[in-house]
């Protein structure tokens, strides 16, 4: 019944996802493509209501909103307090980025485990800067959504009235 409203909500969601993916790529936050590929939405439209939710990898919210470190703070509800990110989670990222071992004070290369620890400690201290890869396109599209939905609903009501009046003849 709400065909035009459904089309408008689909248009809105597709725009937000497309712009979010663009922002991930431009912001160089797309090394594994897992977050990029996980962006999706779920739209349910029934005769009396509709609901929409956006989907992404769990860590996507931290990439979007950022995380304050113990030394560097950001305007975000998330913060490292007493627990460092697990160094082992840095391994695949190190390989994807092509990071090679660096030399320690003695001139020898440090181990990959040491490199993982150093990166995790840096994230713990400095946090993750907010990228707003999702927030910005969502807010931009949401500004116009109310008038677009009203127009789509108006078209749906007009179609319903035409169908109803033509059905009674």
Structural domain boundaries of the chain?
Answer: 1-66+130-169, 68-128
At residue 49, the pLDDT reads: 75
CB-count burial class (<10 Å; 0-12, 13-18, 19+) for 138:
buried
What pTM did the predictor assign? 0.80
Mean pLDDT of 125-144: 94
Give the three-state DSSP class for 128: strand
pLDDT score of 167 more than 60: no
The mean of the pLDDT values for the chain is 87
Tell me how far apart the alpha carbons of residues 152 and 110 are, in angstroms, rounded to a whole number: 61
pLDDT on residue 136 = 96
- Tokens at residue 128, please? 């993750």
DSSP 8-state class, residue 82: S
Residue, of 99 and 158, whose pLDDT is higher: 99
Mean pLDDT of 144-151: 76
Q: What SS3 class is residue 33?
A: coil
Task: Inform me whether the pLDDT recorded for 7 exceeds 90.
Answer: no
pLDDT digits (tens, 9 = 90+) for 50-88: 889 999 999 999 999 999 999 999 999 999 999 999 999
**Residue 24: pLDDT above 70?**
yes
Mean pLDDT confidence for 115-124:
93
DSSP state letter for 81: -
pLDDT for 125 equals: 96
**CB environment 16-26: b (16+ within 10 A), e (fewer):** bbebbbebbee
User: What percentage of the chain carries pLDDT values higher than 90?
Assistant: 52
Residues 12 and 54: their CA atoms lie apart, in Å, by 11
pLDDT at 47 over 80: no
- State yes or no: pLDDT of 112 exceeds 80: yes
The token pair that represents 100 in the structure block = 């090679």
């Amino acid at each position: 019944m709400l065909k035009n409203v459904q089309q408008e909500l689909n248009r809105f969601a597709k725009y937000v996802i497309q712009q979010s993916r663009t922002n991930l790529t431009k912001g160089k936050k797309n090394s594994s493509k897992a977050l990029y590929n996980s962006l999706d939405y779920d739209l349910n439209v029934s005769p009396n209501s509709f609901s929409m939710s956006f989907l992404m990898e769990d860590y996507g919210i931290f990439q979007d909103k950022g995380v304050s470190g113990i030394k560097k703070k950001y305007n975000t509800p998330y913060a490292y307090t007493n627990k460092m990110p697990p160094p082992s989670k840095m391994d695949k990222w190190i390989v994807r980025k092509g990071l090679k071992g660096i030399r320690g004070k003695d001139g020898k290369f440090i181990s990959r485990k040491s490199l993982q620890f150093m990166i995790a400690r840096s994230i713990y201290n400095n946090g993750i800067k907010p990228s707003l890869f999702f927030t910005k396109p969502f807010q931009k599209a949401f500004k116009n959504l109310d008038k677009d939905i009203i127009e789509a609903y108006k078209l749906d009501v007009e179609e319903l009235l035409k169908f109803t009046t033509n059905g009674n003849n």
